C-alpha cells in the first residue's frame, strides 16, 4: 500500500478553475485504480500556513543541532513539522496549482519553503546540495490561460519549472506534468483544451 499526498493550491471552485478540474479528475481516477492506497488531501487554502519566518528558521536550525528551543520556536517547529512529516512519508505526491503572475500561488511557495529542510529533505556537500527524497514520484497538474510552453512567452514560465527545480533539489526526479494552457488566449478552443487536459490527467492517474 502506498501513501499518496494530494496538494491543492487553488482557492477557486471546481466550475471556476481548470487546475481544480484536473485535481478532481486525477484524484477520482487514482482512487479507482488504487483502492487500497492511503490518500491524504491537503488543501493549502484551508490550512494555517503563515509565511516562513525567522522564528521558524531559528527553530529548525536549533532542532538540527539539538539546541534548546524557546516556546515560540517550539510552536513554530511543530507547525513546520506538521506539514513536513506527511511530505517525507508519502510515496507519491500530486500537486495541482494554477500559474498566477507567471509563477505559483504564494501559499504553494510557502509550503515548499516548509518542506525544503536541510538535513531532512536535502543535505549539503562540497559539490553542492544533494536531495534525500529520491524514492518518491510526483505529478504536477497545472493550468495557465496563455501559452508558455513555447513561443514568445516561453521564457516567462516560472510555475511548473519552479516546482520541478525545487522537487529535483530534494532528490525527486520522477516527475510527470499535465498542463492545460492557452484556454484563455484561444477561447474558441477552450473546451477542447480543457477536455484534453482532463483526459490526460485521468490517464496519468491510472498509471501513476
Binding-site residues, please? 17-19, 99-102
Contact 110, 49 (CB under 8 A): yes
**DSSP letter at 103?**
B
Residues in the chain: 208
Contact 176, 138 (CB under 8 A): yes
DSSP bridge pairs for 143: 98, 180
Which contacts qualify for 99-104: CB closer than 8 Å, 24 or more apart?
Answer: 99/142, 99/143, 99/144, 99/145, 99/148, 99/157, 99/159, 99/160, 100/159, 102/156, 102/157, 102/158, 102/159, 103/158, 103/159, 103/162, 104/9, 104/159, 104/162, 104/163
Binding site for FMN: residue ranges? Answer: 17-19, 99-102
- CA 198 to CA 21: how far, in whole Å? 7
- Burial environment of residue 186 by CB neighbours within 10 A (0 to 12, 13 to 18, 19 or more): middle
Amino acid at each position: 500500500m502506498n501513501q499518496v499526498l494530494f496538494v491543492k493550491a487553488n482557492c477557486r471552485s471546481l466550475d471556476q478553475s481548470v487546475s481544480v478540474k484536473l485535481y478532481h479528475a486525477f484524484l477520482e481516477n487514482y482512487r479507482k485504480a488504487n483502492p487500497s492506497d492511503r490518500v491524504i488531501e491537503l488543501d493549502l487554502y484551508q490550512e494555517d500556513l503563515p509565511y516562513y519566518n525567522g522564528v521558524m528558521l531559528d527553530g529548525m536550525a536549533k532542532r538540527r543541532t539539538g539546541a534548546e528551543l524557546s516556546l515560540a520556536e517550539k510552536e513554530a517547529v511543530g507547525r513546520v513539522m506538521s506539514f513536513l512529516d506527511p511530505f517525507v512519508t508519502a510515496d507519491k505526491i500530486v500537486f495541482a496549482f494554477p500559474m498566477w503572475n507567471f509563477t505559483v500561488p504564494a501559499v504553494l511557495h510557502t509550503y515548499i519553503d516548509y518542506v525544503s529542510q536541510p538535513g531532512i529533505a536535502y543535505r549539503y556537500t562540497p559539490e553542492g546540495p544533494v536531495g534525500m527524497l529520491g524514492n518518491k514520484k510526483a505529478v504536477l497538474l497545472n493550468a495557465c490561460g496563455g501559452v508558455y510552453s513555447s513561443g514568445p512567452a516561453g521564457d516567462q514560465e516560472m510555475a511548473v519549472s519552479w516546482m520541478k527545480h525545487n522537487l529535483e533539489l530534494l532528490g525527486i526526479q520522477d516527475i510527470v506534468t499535465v498542463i492545460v494552457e492557452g484556454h484563455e488566449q484561444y477561447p474558441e478552443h477552450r473546451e477542447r483544451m480543457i477536455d484534453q487536459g482532463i483526459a490526460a490527467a485521468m490517464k496519468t492517474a491510472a498509471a501513476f
